[in-house]
Amino acid sequence: MSSTVPKDVLDTARSARRVAVLTGAGMSAESGIPTFRDKDFGLWTKVDPEELATPTAWFQDPARVWAWFAWRARVVQKSFPNAGHRALATWEKRERTTLDVVTQNVDNLHERGGSRAVTHLHGSLFAYRCDTCGEPYEGDLTLPHQPVERLTPPACPRCRLGNIRPDIVWFGEPLDRGRFERAIEAVESADLVLVVGTSGMVYPAAGLPAIARGQGVPVVEINPRESDLSDTVDLRWEVSAATGLPRLVEALER
């Protein structure tokens, strides 16, 4: 893993004025948030996604699913943005530059790291809605201080029929159309697409780099390991997000 910015990566980034950054769980790994599929501490290796992150699981046992998501929200609350999140926020503020973050992550670390243009393709651990009437829920929530097996979700105060659920895209659910259209627009109008910390296994998010390349936009991957996208990108830098991104942004400032 080389932490010196490769010349071809730096040259591509230097000439970029409209940057789109597609991030995945690896972006938050150095903030202590487990990824989904990394063998060492991937989240899914401990829980079966079909068991907890699907509408079927929710309607079968909302208290069990709510307990897991509420705990994940608590873990994020206790975590901090890393140098990679902060580097993207610095880059976004550069003269004559726009930088759109399109993230698969449901944590709020990009925003807390200072990024302003963030699109959450898979929703957010900190947004909630009624599972029946769909009304967004802004009410109080008690997040568990320790992981618990079960936790009763709040009842919907509006329809009084449904339970409050995380506003997260579960397996088998469609992405929010508006968010995905914004993501496509970001990568199609970019002059650089950076792919950071994603295995590239989950569509349609994983299809965004190919859309960019189809428009002749250079795609650069930052990931310490190979991903399902590695064979389809223009440049790869085998480095972690919290090491690579600050070095890249520092080099741009020089």
Instruction: Please give the positions annotated as active site.
Output: 122
Question: Of the ranges 1-9, 27-35, 136-144, 176-184, which one interacts with ligand APR (CB under 6 A)?
Answer: 27-35
| Cα 102-104-110 angle, rounded to 5 deg | 60
Is residue 199 involved in binding ligand APR (CB under 6 A)? yes
User: Per CB under 6 A, does 227 bind ligand APR?
Assistant: yes
Q: Least Å distance between CB 34 and ligand APR?
A: 8
Residue 166 host element (H or E): strand 164-168
Q: How far is the CB of 230 from ligand APR (least distance, A)?
A: 9
Return the structure tokens found at 96: 């004559």
Contact 211, 180 (CB under 8 A): no
C-alpha span between 117 and 109 (Å, rounded):
13
198 forms part of the interface with ligand APR (CB under 6 A):
yes
Query: How far apart are alpha carbons 186 and 223 in whole angstroms?
Result: 21
Size of the site for ligand APR (CB under 6 A): 24
Decide if residue 1 touches ligand APR (CB under 6 A).
no
- φ, ψ at 92 (rounded to 5°): -60, -30
* Contact status: 238 vs ligand APR (CB under 6 A): no
> Which of 31, 35, 124, 163 touches ligand APR by CB under 6 A?
35
Q: What φ, ψ does residue 212 adopt, rounded to 5°? A: -60, -50
Q: Which residues in 122-250 belong to E strands, given as ranges?
A: 123-130, 164-168, 192-196, 219-222, 235-237
Binder of ligand APR out of 86, 122, 129, 247 (CB under 6 A): 122
Does 202 engage in binding with ligand APR (CB under 6 A)?
yes
- Measured from the CB atom, the residue of 29 and 101 that comes closer to ligand APR is 29
Determine if 154 is a binding residue for ligand APR (CB under 6 A): no
Q: Is 72 exposed, middle or buried (0-12, 13-18, 19+ CB in 10 A)?
A: buried
Pairing between β-strand 118-120 and β-strand 123-130 as defined by DSSP bridges: unpaired
Chain residues binding ligand APR by CB under 6 A are 24-26, 29-30, 35-38, 42, 104, 122, 196-199, 201-202, 223-225, 227, 240-241
